Amino acid sequence: MSTMAEPKPRPEPKPGKGGRARSAGAQQERRLGWLLCAPAVLVMIAVTAYPIGYAVYLSLQRYDLRFPARAEFVGLDNYGAVLSSPFWWDAFWVTLFVTAVSVAIELVLGMGLALVMHRTLFLRGTVRTAVLIPYGIVTVVAAFSWQYAWTPELGYLAELLPSGEAPLTEQWPALWLIVLAEVWKTTPFMALLLLAGLALVPEETLKAAMVDGASPWQRFTRVMLPLMKPAILVALLFRTLDAFRIFDNIYVLTAGAQGTGSLSILGYDNLFTALNLGIGSAISVLIFLCVGIIAFTFVKLFGAAAPGAEVKR
């Protein structure tokens, strides 16, 4: 299990007279460890740390791709422009809405799905296979499927609505449909994470609670949920961060029209439609900061443990 407990740092080997052989071994082990990690670390630094630094640098420039020669240092002007723009705030609230609503629905549905997968004996393999499909399917494909389902005169779902309604062309219905597409695609992943958490609840503890007179609901809320808390928090953290960068579904379903664009869509549009590298980079950096704040809040406020934070040996 992941916990916040950090393994105590072992005292560094002090090379003593008799301990030389072992120290050499430890040193060798250390060198091998670094050697094995080096390629992965170098790649990760080169492709993420360096670019994000470069993005900060770009965000301080006036840099329009149509007029690259006119690039100049403008300090925080780009940030000022972004943060005072209604486009940023609209996209920010849309992103927050979609994130909060879809993660909340996923948690409830995912828990139900996890319980079904955990308890059922009938068709167990089929159910597990089936729920992996939304997880594995290409998001764009699923998004097109939803888009066609809701397109008037084409889709089965649009037919259920009064004729003349085109939900994807109105802000609120479209937002809900985005949430729906997001929920469909990622609930299985949430359910699988929760299922793994469920497996950690000892059957005997539940039996004990039953003998102690707890109702099914009490067993769920008083025994299962507290024991699953670490798994739930990890799942929530994962999904919240993932939902916050939502792009594919919105791009296909509405392309961000009618006030349905997320922050990622905004950044993309500024870069590739407006071709403004300076503003686009400022948006990139701001999104990065938002994600950092969310992660920090989760870890500090709820004590969610980073997966892999504890390494036992």
Partner 1 sequence: MAEIVLEGVTKRYPDGSVAVRDVDLDIADGEFVILVGPSGCGKSTTLNMIAGLEDITEGTLRIDGRVVNDLAPKERDVAMVFQSYALYPHMSVRENMGFPLRLAKVDKATIDRKVEEAARVLDLGEFLDRKPANLSGGQRQRVAMGRAIVRDPKAFLMDEPLSNLDAKLRVQMRTQISRLQRRLGTTTVYVTHDQTEAMTLGDRVVVMRQGLVQQIGTPAELYDMPRNLFVAGFIGSPAMNFLNASLAEGVLRTPLGALPLDDRVRRALEERSAPREVIVGLRPEAFEDASLARETGGPVVTATVDVLESLGSDAYVYFTAEGGPVTTAELEELATDSGARDTGAGAGQQIVARLDAATRAREGAPVDLRIDLAKAHVFDPSTGANLTHPESSA
Partner 2 sequence: MAAVGKTHATRWAVVNIVVVLYALFPVWWIAALSFKDPATLTDGNYIPRDWTWDNYRGIFETSEFTRALINSIGIALIATVIAVILGTMAAYAVARLRFPGKRLLIGMSLLIAMFPPISLVSPLFNIERIIGIFDTWPGLIIPYMTFSLPLAIYTLSAFFREIPWDLEKAAKVDGATPAQAFRLVIVPLAAPGVFTTAILVFIFCWNDFLFAISLTSTESARTVPAAIAFFTGSSQFQQPTGSIAAAAVVITVPIIIFVLLFQRRIVAGLTSGAVKG
Contacts (CB under 8 A) with partner 2, residues 151-210: 153-156, 159, 184, 188-189, 192-193, 195-197, 200
Region binding partner 1 by CB under 8 A among candidate stretches 20-28, 52-60, 75-83, 181-189: 20-28
- Angstrom CA distances, 177 to 49, 97, 136, 167, stand at 35, 13, 20, 8
The residues that bridge with 307 in the sheet, in sequence order, are none
Instruction: State in angstroms the smallest separation of the CB of 32 from partner 1.
Output: 16
E-assigned strand segments in 33-84: 61-62, 72-73
Residues in contact with 143: Cβ distance below 8 Å, sequence separation at least 6, in sequence order: 181, 248, 249, 251, 252, 253
Instruction: State in angstroms the smallest separation of the CB of 18 from partner 1.
Output: 5
Please, is 105 exposed, middle or buried when counting C-beta atoms within 10 Å of its C-beta (0-12, 13-18, 19+)?
middle
* Closer of 21 and 121 to partner 1 (Cβ): 21
**Are 287 and 229 within 8 A, CB to CB?**
no
- How wide is the angle at C-alpha 104 spanned by C-alphas 100 and 110, nearest 5°? 140
Q: Mask 26-45, x = binds partner 1 (CB under 8 A)?
A: x-------------------
Closest C-alpha to 185, from 253, 134, 136: 134
Instruction: State in angstroms the smallest separation of the CB of 171 from partner 2.
Output: 22
Out of 5, 8, 10, 203, point to the residue binding partner 1 (CB under 8 A).
10
- Does 129 sit near partner 2 (CB under 8 A)? yes
Provide Rg for the chain, Cα atoms: 25
| Cα–Cα dist 202/221, whole Å | 15
Out of 107, 111, 224, 305, point to the residue binding partner 2 (CB under 8 A).
305
- Does 131 sit near partner 2 (CB under 8 A)? yes
Q: Mask 56-95, x = binds partner 1 (CB under 8 A)?
A: ----------------------------------------
Out of 14, 66, 312, 313, point to the residue binding partner 1 (CB under 8 A).
14
* Closer of 134 and 212 to partner 2 (Cβ): 134
Please give the residue ranges that form the binding site for partner 1 (CB under 8 A): 10-11, 13-16, 18-19, 21-23, 25-26
